[in-house]
Amino acid sequence: MPTKISKTYKPSSKEKYMCAKHKTFFRKMLADWKNDLIDQNNRIIFGNDDDNAASADIVDQATSYSSKTVEMRTVNRNKKLIKKIDSAVQKIEEGVYGYCEVTGEEIGLKRLMARPIATMTVEAQEQHEKQEKVFAED
Sequential pLDDT tens for the chain (138 residues): 678 999 899 999 999 999 999 999 999 999 999 999 999 999 988 876 555 555 667 777 777 778 888 899 999 999 999 999 999 999 999 999 999 999 999 999 999 999 999 999 999 999 999 888 877 665
Q: Give the whole-angstrom CA distance, residue 40 versus residue 36.
A: 6
Phi, psi of 106 (to 5 degrees): -65, 135
Domain boundaries, the chain: 18-95, 98-138
Query: Three-class SS of residue 17?
Result: coil
pTM across the whole model: 0.82
8 A C-beta contact, residue 6 and residue 28:
no
Neighbours of 77 (CB within 10 A): 12
Alpha carbon distance, N-terminus to C-terminus of the chain: 53
Q: What is the CATH number of domain 18-95?
A: 1.20.120.910
Query: What does the alpha-carbon distance between residue 116 and residue 88 come to, in Å, rounded to a whole number?
Result: 8
